[in-house]
Amino acid sequence: MTFVTTSLAIAGVAAASIPILIHLLLRRRRRPMAWAAMTLLMEAARRHRRRSRLEQILLLAVRAILVALLGVALAQPLLGERSTILGSRTVHLVLDDGLAGGLVEPDGRTTLERQSADAIEVIESLGGNDRVAVTLAGSPVRRLVFGPSTDHRSTIRAIEGLTSREGATDLAAALELVNTGIDETGKQEIHVFSDFRRGSLDDRRRPSPIRDASGAPIELIASSPIETTDSNTQVVSIETARTPLSAAGAGDLLLVDVGLRRTGALDEAVTNVRLGGDAIAGVENRRVEWPAGRAEARVDFQIRVDEDGGLLEATIDPDSLPLDDRRVTIVPGREPTRVLLVDREDLVGATRLDRLRGTDWFERALLPSPDTVIVEAIDIDRTDPSTIGERDLEGVSLLVLGRPDLLPEDFNETLASWVRRGGVAVVLPPGETTIRAWASPMLERLDLPWAVALESIAVDPPRPLPSEQPDSPLTSLIDSEMVELAPSVRIDRRLPVEGVPDGDLVLVDEGGDPVLLDAPVGAGRVVFFAVTPELGWTDLPVRPLMVPLVQEIARQGTALSRRGGDGVVGDRAPTFRSTGITRVEMPGMSDREVGGDGIDIPERSGVATGVDLAGRIVEQAVINPDVRGGLIEPVGRDAVEAWLEPAGSWRFTGAEVDAIEVTENRGSLAVTLVAIVLALAIIELLLARWFARGGLRTRRSRGLTGANADAELDRSRRGGAAA
């Protein structure tokens, strides 16, 4: 048995000694004083001493038990499953404070506030010796208090101060963290407070089995999954792409694509989209009308940005879940894009078209005419592949490898590191015959699954490009033109590539073999030509597709790499390209020094700033909410049970019901004890009055003492015989 207030139980048992002390004090021997008729009284006392002793023992026992039970009842005892061998238990609470916890409910509270109130009720129902631990499931997962604690008030205050995070919920990681904190003694309980919406359950990762090292059973309790369907509109993306610099020089014309998504109820609705920030002078507005059942929409803007660039923010009307109603990106200032072409120097100088190398055609497509203002936007350098090093990559946005087979063996590691920081690498197979296995070591460092052959093969007969090409973010702006541009291209030779995921395909030939590949690597990208742009391989260099294709690789590739460097709350740290950054400042977190462990996972959205030793701002990166956590469709109890099943056997109940069960189990025993105390009080009163009037009298002792009693007894016997 354990008690909610152990001190009251101890005080009650101690108070049971009070009637005993009174009894002992009243039994103190006094000096006898002789007086008349004392002999008769002494005879009466001698005859009735046994009866008086029995009366006193009965009253003393009733009074002592009454006081002790009263103290025990006030201490509120717990029996059965609510008590443990050691007199305490440990309750682990898991709170879903992910993005969906910010959903505003009809009563004005957020989902997290409701779940926090349920958790507080459970804590308030615990005994004084019970320990409680709180784990927060919003990414990044963490403990609210350090270790299980008996300080219930401080834990409650910490829960009351919680606000929803903008990261997705990771219940599997939260349960794993709880499992590592389970000790080997005492009863263990785990309570999960979550609505178990679609964004809270990751099918790619399920919880591990939860076990106590001592083998004792662990009670697993979860809130009932939500059944109501709410509605939420999210800003899931904001993508930018530059058009060529305006001839007037008044700034860049920027194409902005804002992606919206609805989850939950898909009724008819209207959403207003606003585009603002310090990158543009004013605010642009668009109106989106949603028909019933439509879940996604894209909104296009064409704006003129300031020459210095800046922050660009897309927002929508506030809805029931405001945490995913905005998204931010950074538009870089008007600076030339540095392109580095890596190829051997042509000492003779190629004038014939059939002698131009892949890097030559790439340069011509980047700068189709020396008189255009595009020249101001692109800065092209060349270097020899055998001497390239890390210093050559400083400030470079686009790296074109014309002879990857001639790169130093230790350059692959440098290349992979540069790409992961946000660089775009374009790989052209060598036009000349080579037997060196250059592709496998490079792709291995880049963690790409492609399998590239050692030698190229001839395509006989030549294959054209079909008009229908795979959907790729690299060519999204020229998709409408691809129908006319692609069929004119012919493929005569290619480098076989296998093991390419469908999402990495940009161009394929009529036989379905890869022609151009694109894949993200860290914050950067790798663009791989399986058909090098030389006339011995293809007529692509002299076809109309060449210029827009290369332009999109340069513009969209660098834009995609910038977005790849953005941070995501609870999932991905921002990536900084610039060197010289020694400290990173992130919203809602203390400043962190840049070291070998990298940058911490962000906990809040906003702008992260990289500064140097002098405190100067070197680079900025944005941190956006993880919109996966805003998927608010109800999942259903069966699906939740199946997802939680690997952890153990769960009991689903509302948190408030569980707290009431504890209170009822505790209160029912206390009420029973109080009733027993009242009954004992009545019994004590009746016994005291009965004993005061003569108590356990016999026919011998009916109010008479000594010789009078004997005479009365003799008369009674004679009367009975005469009858």
DSSP annotation string for 662-708:
HHHHHHHHHHHHHHHHHHHHHHHHHHHHHHHTTSS--TT-SS--HHH
Q: What is the pTM of this model?
A: 0.68
Q: Contact 621/607 with Cβ under 8 angstroms?
A: yes
Higher-confidence residue of 202 and 624: namely 624
Q: Give the per-residue pLDDT at 539.
A: 94
Query: Which position has the token pair 């093969």?
Result: 457
Please determine, for residue 604, whether its predicted confidence score (pLDDT) is greater than 70: yes
pLDDT digits 0-9 by tens, 433-458: 665 689 999 999 999 999 999 889 99
pLDDT digits 0-9 by tens, 190-205: 999 999 999 889 888 8
Please tell me the distance from the alpha carbon of residue 298 to that of residue 699, in angstroms, as a whole number.
107
Any residues with CB less than 8 A from the CB of 297 and at least 6 apart, and which?
259, 260, 261, 271, 288, 290
Please tell me the distance from the alpha carbon of residue 186 to that of residue 90, in angstroms, as a whole number.
7
Higher-confidence residue of 243 and 199: namely 199
Structural domains in the chain, CATH included, are: 2-27+38-75+669-716 (no CATH), 81-229+633-653 (3.40.50.410), 231-334 (2.60.40.10), 337-564 (3.40.50.880), 569-621 (no CATH)
Please tell me the distance from the alpha carbon of residue 201 to that of residue 361, in angstroms, as a whole number.
50
Please determine, for residue 487, whether its predicted confidence score (pLDDT) is greater than 90: yes
Phi, psi of 633 (to 5 degrees): -65, 140
pLDDT digits 0-9 by tens, 85-132: 445 788 999 999 999 999 999 999 999 999 999 999 999 988 888 899
Helix (H) or strand (E) run with residue 207 in it = none
Burial class (CB in 10 A: 0-12, 13-18, 19+), 641: middle
Query: Which position has the token pair 């030793």?
Result: 613
Mean pLDDT of 456-483: 91
Please determine, for residue 549, whether its predicted confidence score (pLDDT) is greater than 50: yes
Q: Contact 487/537 with Cβ under 8 angstroms?
A: no
Which pLDDT band, with edges at 50, 70 and 90, does 669 fall under? low
Q: Give the per-residue pLDDT at 547.
A: 92
pLDDT digits 0-9 by tens, 387-423: 999 889 988 989 999 999 999 989 999 999 999 888 9
Least confident range of 119-128, 620-629, 647-656: 647-656
Which pLDDT band, with edges at 50, 70 and 90, does 655 fall under? very low
Question: Is the CA virtual torsion 616, 620, 625, 626 positive or negative?
Answer: negative
Please determine, for residue 354, whether its predicted confidence score (pLDDT) is greater than 50: yes
Pair of tokens at residue 249: 């020089």
Percent of the chain whose predicted confidence (pLDDT) is above 90: 44
Least confident range of 217-221, 446-450, 638-642: 217-221
Q: Contact 257/659 with Cβ under 8 angstroms?
A: no
Mean pLDDT of 275-304: 91
Q: Give the per-residue pLDDT at 87.
A: 52
- Mapping DSSP to helix (H, G, I), strand (E, B) and coil, where does residue 467 land? coil
Q: Give the per-residue pLDDT at 249.
A: 39
Higher-confidence residue of 375 and 526: namely 526
Q: Contact 647/62 with Cβ under 8 angstroms?
A: no
Please determine, for residue 351, whether its predicted confidence score (pLDDT) is greater than 80: no
